[in-house]
Amino acid sequence: MAILSLQNDMKGFDDTSNIWLRPFSALINCMFPVEYVYADWIGWQTKTEAERADPESLIGLPDTAIEAGSRAEGFCIPQFILRKSDIERGSVLDIKEHWRPDCDMMTASDPFEINDEKKPIPIFTVEHVEDDPKYAKLRLTKEWKVHRPRYKNVSCLHHTFLLPSADHPMDGREITRFDGQKATWSYSLHGPVRKLQSGVLPSYEEDQTGVFKYPIAWPEPAKEWLVRPRPSGWPSSDLVQEILNSGCHLAPVGRGTRFEEPVDLLSYCQNPELSVASSVSLRAEYTEGKLVMDNTEWKTSFSVAENKLGESVSPMQRHVLVLLKMIKKCYFPKVISTYCLKHLLFWEIEKKQEDFWREDNSGNCLLLILDRLQECLGAHQLPHFFIPRSNILQYEDPSKLNEAAAIVAEVRRNILPKTVNLLKRLQSLTYLSHTYLQGLGLILEDHLLKMQDRNLSSKDQRQLVRSLHSIFASKCKDVMVQLRKITPAERQNIEK
């Protein structure tokens, strides 16, 4: 699709203030096709469905599990390994990082419990924090305290209440790695999350978290999202209604940094009052200049809504976010999270008309999000997509945000060479990308220099795009020849 669109785009080529953006868009789409993102996402969906359907699968998700994160939304980076440089290639020792999305799984519990009279009673009521309403306290109800007397002196529910089970059939199992060495599966507790890891390459990592269903249809602080104006028409009214019907959840995550692990589940159930008192006293302290997390504070999770929004975006919008995540991994500091990038994208899709998100405009789309990111970092302010009163950057160190803004600005100024250098260093797990990029180094460098010429005429721009098209079309044929093992004579019959 990317190659074909280049042929169509060469007609009616208009001059712009940023003359290099059109060929830059073409280059991105050639080196990192939209189809690559979709193929990887569909592959993960198929794998998940197959594991769910296999009763003997030891790592399959149960029917009650809710998959969250990039694999479910379709924003996962394809399974690449990143070389140390664009020169070293072909050896495992050259690998800098292996990109493989984790599996994030939520198990939802009902916020109601059946009492001795066989009637459902609410376990808690939700009290959103005034200065940041995406967080809340779960205040235990009188009815439930009567039903569970040991909680009679406890005000709010502790994270430990929803700890996942400590048992997993894969825990402790031994596996042989590709180099012949032995590795062992582990199933360990990290905060309120149970993490299953394989310890091999490619690694498998699964995070299991217990959450509560939100006890009413939709949180009061997020009701503005249901009715606010949407210039682009996205999300549609039908999608908004579908998200409303799906509801949201309460996850065991509070503000600040977690400095204490949740207490043992058995100990907590035996004496919940002591555990909560310990957490509250610790909350008032600062450790190493960081706010200590309160283990009785819960975060409103819109993971299901984000899954549905992610599924609804256009191919170009998905492509832009995945490329931004790749750029983030290589160039941005940790203070810039993929969560920030996702919310920025959602805000811009809601504002920008559909015709902005075109494949031939991908360079502009990329720069738009980078500009918005720099603005938010500089202002220390990024509104939450569902609860705009909440600031996603509120608890970050202001000096680190300022440093991050400067880094984003530098990447933005040099976006063309940085993006191309990143893409040249990627290797696919299906076949090595150097098979495709072999011999392109000097040609691409020559084109990069030309594309950065601000005085490039419209005629020269058209010629540059034609040249890029012919280069990548030829390399596509070369790869097809190698994969299909066809003869040079048969190569003539490959459809252009």
Tell me which amino acid residue 343 is: H
257 beta partners? 292
Q: When comparing pLDDT for 378 and 435, which is higher? A: 378
pLDDT single digits (tens) 97-117: 777 777 888 989 999 999 888
Q: When comparing pLDDT for 361 and 276, which is higher? A: 361
Which of 102, 75, 132, 73 minimizes the C-alpha distance to 304?
Answer: 73
Burial bucket for residue 60 (CB in 10 Å: 0-12, 13-18, 19+): middle
pLDDT single digits (tens) 374-402: 999 999 999 999 999 999 999 999 999 99
Q: When comparing pLDDT for 31 and 379, which is higher? A: 379
- Confidence at residue 325, expressed as pLDDT on a 0 to 100 scale: 95
Q: Give CA–CA dist 110/215, Å, rounded.
A: 8
Q: Give the DSSP per-residue string, 209-226.
A: EEEEEPSSSS-GGGHHHH
Axis crossing angle, helix 458-484 with helix 2-9, rounded to the nearest 10:
150
Q: Give CA–CA dist 204/175, Å, rounded.
A: 12
Kindly report the pTM of this predicted structure. 0.79
- Confidence at residue 446, expressed as pLDDT on a 0 to 100 scale: 64
For the cut 90, the answer to whether the pLDDT of residue 89 exceeds it is no
Axis crossing angle, helix 362-379 with helix 338-351, rounded to the nearest 10:
120
Q: Give CA–CA dist 148/166, Å, rounded.
A: 23
pLDDT single digits (tens) 172-197: 777 776 556 677 877 777 777 778 77
Q: Give the DSSP per-residue string, 176-245.
A: E-TTS-EEE-EEEEETTEEEEE--SSS--EEEEEEEEEPSSSS-GGGHHHHHS--TT--S-HHHHHHHHH
Which of 445, 450, 454 minimizes the C-alpha distance to 420?
Answer: 445
Neighbours of 486 (CB within 10 A): 13
Q: What is the mean pLDDT of the chain?
A: 79
Residue whose entry in the numeric block shows the structure tokens 């012919």: 470
pLDDT single digits (tens) 235-262: 999 999 999 999 999 999 999 877 666 6
Q: Give CA–CA dist 384/373, Å, rounded.
A: 13
pLDDT single digits (tens) 36-82: 887 778 777 777 777 777 776 666 666 678 888 888 898 988 877 78
Q: Give CA–CA dist 298/136, Å, rounded.
A: 5
Element at 298 (helix H, strand E): strand 297-301
Where do the DSSP E strands lie in 76-134?
A: 80-83, 95-98, 103-109, 112-114, 120-122, 124-128
pLDDT single digits (tens) 135-158: 999 999 999 999 999 899 999 999
Share of the chain above pLDDT 70, in %: 71
Query: Do the beta carbons of residue 425 and residue 94 sit within 8 Å?
Result: no
Task: Tell me, rounded to whole angstroms, the distance of Cα 238 from its chain centroid.
Answer: 24
**Averaged over 114-127, what is the pLDDT?**
92
Tell me which amino acid residue 297 is: E
- Confidence at residue 87, expressed as pLDDT on a 0 to 100 scale: 53
Instruction: Kindly report which listed range (273-282, 285-294, 384-393) carries the lowest average pLDDT score.
Output: 273-282
Burial bucket for residue 291 (CB in 10 Å: 0-12, 13-18, 19+): middle
Tell me which amino acid residue 150 is: R
Tell me which amino acid residue 172 is: G
Phi, psi dihedral angles at 448 (to 5 degrees): -60, -45
Tally of CA atoms within 13 A in the half-sphere of 138 that contains its CB: 31
Which of 418, 348, 417, 416 minimizes the C-alpha distance to 376?
Answer: 348
The total number of residues written for the chain in this structure: 496
- Confidence at residue 386, expressed as pLDDT on a 0 to 100 scale: 98
- Confidence at residue 295, expressed as pLDDT on a 0 to 100 scale: 87
Neighbours of 55 (CB within 10 A): 6
Q: Give CA–CA dist 225/162, Å, rounded.
A: 29
Q: When comparing pLDDT for 31 and 283, which is higher? A: 31
For the cut 80, the answer to whether the pLDDT of residue 451 exceeds it is no
